[in-house]
Amino acid sequence: MYEAKKFDSIKELNGISERTMTEHYKLYEGYVKKFNEIWEKLDGGEVDLGAANQIYSEMRGLKVEMTFALSGIKNHEVYFGHLGGSGGEPKGKLADQIKKDMGSFQEWKDYFKATGMAGRGWAWLVWDRDMGRLYDIIGDTQNTYVNWNSVPLVALDVYEHAYFIDYGTKRADYIEAFFNNLNWDVIEKNFEQAVE
């Protein structure tokens, strides 16, 4: 069973309201609840394995939605985990890697903002262990376009629930607020772990 984690960022942030953060956290708890429900069904031996079918079957439904629920958990843990900081820029090894792979922090930031504007659900900065480099990807849902053996370091939620209360349709302003609240110490630590 998965247990919902607690995050210090669930409070009023700089440009993101307490209401947005607390409502958003409830969605995360919902993913945890549903993941556990799906997991129990799959684990409980009740699913008719002989009826598995690619068009529709209980097996297919549970397997597909399990990844939706689990990605909902994992993405939000990166998101809540690296908010609550004071923005700015990364230092050390991550700063060097961003320069190497993206040119400069500002160039990456502009590119990542555009990635966030182009996505329907998420934008991620990932460390790809096979390629040994950073790059940005889009997720139209929490479980789409994710590549194996890569670690999400920055996870930008661009679903409307992340910003509509505070910004209405002004997604770009929300993305700026997101950057202003990033905790680069957390991201740097995750990067160093991912590189090991």
Of 111 and 159, CB closest to Fe ion: 159
Q: Does 157 bind Fe ion (CB under 5 A)?
A: yes
Per CB under 5 A, the segment of 106-114, 122-130, 155-163, 186-194 that binds Fe ion is 155-163
Residue 161 CB, nearest distance to Fe ion (Å)? 6
Which residues, numbered 158-187, are part of the site for Fe ion (CB under 5 A)?
A: 159
**Total residues interacting with Fe ion, rule: CB under 5 A:** 2
Of 159 and 164, CB closest to Fe ion: 159
Q: Copy the structure tokens of residue 128.
A: 């790809």
Q: Does 77 bind Fe ion (CB under 5 A)?
A: no
Instruction: Annotate the chain with DSSP letters as a single string.
Output: ---PPP-TTSS--SSS-HHHHHHHHHHHHHHHHHHHHHHHHHHTT-S-GGG--SSS-HHHHHHHHHHHHHHHHHHHHHHHHTBSS------HHHHHHHHHHHSSHHHHHHHHHHHHHH-SSEEEEEEETTTTEEEEEEESSTTSSPPTTEEEEEEEE-SGGGTHHHHTT-HHHHHHHHHHTB-HHHHHHHHHHHH-
Q: Which of 40, 46, 28 is nearest to 66 (CA)?
A: 40
Per CB under 5 A, the segment of 6-14, 37-45, 157-165, 184-192 that binds Fe ion is 157-165
Of 77 and 157, CB closest to Fe ion: 157
Of 66 and 156, CB closest to Fe ion: 156
Residue 76 CB, nearest distance to Fe ion (Å)? 6
Of 28 and 127, CB closest to Fe ion: 28
Per CB under 5 A, the segment of 7-15, 83-91, 99-107, 152-160 that binds Fe ion is 152-160
Per CB under 5 A, the segment of 31-39, 63-71, 115-123, 153-161 that binds Fe ion is 153-161
With both helix axes pointing from N to C terminus, report the angle between 105-118 and 171-180 in degrees, rounded to the nearest 10. 140
What residues make contact with Fe ion under the rule CB under 5 A? 157, 159
